[in-house]
C-alpha cells in the first residue's frame, strides 16, 4: 500500500488509536502536533463518512441471509437448523456479494414471482449499492501531504479516495458527507423493502401458504 494512503479497515479499527497515540507521544513537540492534527481530522471524517455506510450495508447483508434461510429451512420446529444454515453456508461471505445476491434473485424469481414483480427494482438497486460498497471498501484514504494542505477543515466534510483500475491507472474521487447521506437513504429504502419480503417469505415458509 502506498505511504500516502490508508485502507478502510485500518482507519476504522486502528485509526483513532494510532492518531491519538501519535498526538500523545508528541506532546513536547508542537510542530509534530500541528502536523498530525489534519491527519487526525481527516481520519475522523473517514470513519464518519464510510463507517456509517457500512453499518447499514451489514444490516442489508443480514436481512438477505434471513430471507434465504427461511426459504430453505421452513420447518417451524427447525429454528436451530435455520441458524446453523446461516452460520455454515451464508456467513463468511463478503457483505451482499454477487453470489449471495444471485441466490436471492433466483429464489424470488422461481419461488416468489409475485414478490419479484412487486419489487421489480430491488435486484438492480441491490447490485448498484453493492458495487458502490465494494468500491468504497477497497479504496484507500488519501493522506498525502498535498491533499492535507488543501483541506479546509472548518468548511469541508469530505475525503478523497484512491483506487486502481484494471490497467493500473490511479483514480481519485472525493466523497462528501452530503453524498454519503443520500446513499444512506438508499440503504434504508432497500432495507425496508427487504423487511417486507422477509415477513412474507417467513409467513409462507412457516404456514405453507404459496401467495
For 95-110, write each residue's pLDDT tens digit. 557 788 999 999 999 9
* 17-45 pLDDT, tens digit each: 444 554 455 454 555 545 578 888 888 88
Instruction: Give the number of other CB atoms < 10 A from CB of residue 81.
Output: 13
- Distances in whole angstroms, Cα of residue 17 to Cα of each of 10, 12, 14: 10, 10, 5
Sole residue written with cell 432497500: 190
Cell of 149: 494542505
Residue pair 140/2 in contact (Cβ under 8 Å)? The answer is yes
Whose grid coordinates read 451464508?
A: 90
Q: In what order do the strands lie in the sheet with 170-176?
A: 5-7, 140-142, 158-164, 170-176
Q: What pLDDT digit, counting tens, does each position of 62-119 carry?
A: 899 999 999 988 776 678 888 888 888 777 655 557 788 999 999 999 999 999 999 9
Separation CA 90–CA 102 (nearest Å): 13
- What is the residue-averaged pLDDT of the chain? 82
Q: How many C-alpha atoms does 154 have within 13 Å on its Cβ side?
A: 0
Amino acid at each position: 500500500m502506498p505511504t500516502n494512503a490508508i485502507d478502510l479497515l485500518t482507519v476504522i479499527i486502528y485509526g483513532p488509536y494510532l492518531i491519538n497515540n501519535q498526538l500523545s507521544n508528541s506532546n513536547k513537540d508542537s510542530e509534530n502536533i500541528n502536523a498530525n492534527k489534519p491527519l487526525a481530522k481527516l481520519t475522523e471524517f473517514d470513519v464518519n463518512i464510510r463507517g456509517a455506510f457500512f453499518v447499514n450495508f451489514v444490516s442489508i447483508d443480514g436481512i438477505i441471509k434471513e430471507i434465504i434461510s427461511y426459504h430453505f429451512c421452513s420447518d417451524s420446529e427447525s429454528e436451530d437448523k435455520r441458524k446453523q444454515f446461516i452460520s455454515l453456508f451464508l456467513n463468511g461471505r463478503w457483505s451482499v456479494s454477487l453470489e449471495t445476491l444471485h441466490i436471492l434473485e433466483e429464489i424470488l424469481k422461481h419461488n416468489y414471482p409475485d414478490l419479484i414483480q412487486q419489487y421489480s427494482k430491488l435486484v438492480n438497486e441491490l447490485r448498484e449499492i453493492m458495487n458502490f460498497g465494494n468500491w468504497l471498501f477497497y479504496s484507500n484514504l488519501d493522506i498525502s501531504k498535498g491533499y492535507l494542505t488543501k483541506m479546509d477543515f472548518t468548511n469541508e466534510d469530505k475525503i478523497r479516495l484512491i483506487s486502481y483500475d484494471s490497467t493500473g491507472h490511479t483514480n481519485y474521487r472525493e466523497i462528501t458527507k452530503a453524498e454519503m447521506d443520500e446513499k444512506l437513504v438508499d440503504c434504508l429504502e432497500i432495507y425496508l423493502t427487504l423487511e417486507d419480503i422477509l415477513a412474507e417469505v417467513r409467513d409462507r415458509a412457516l404456514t405453507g401458504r404459496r401467495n
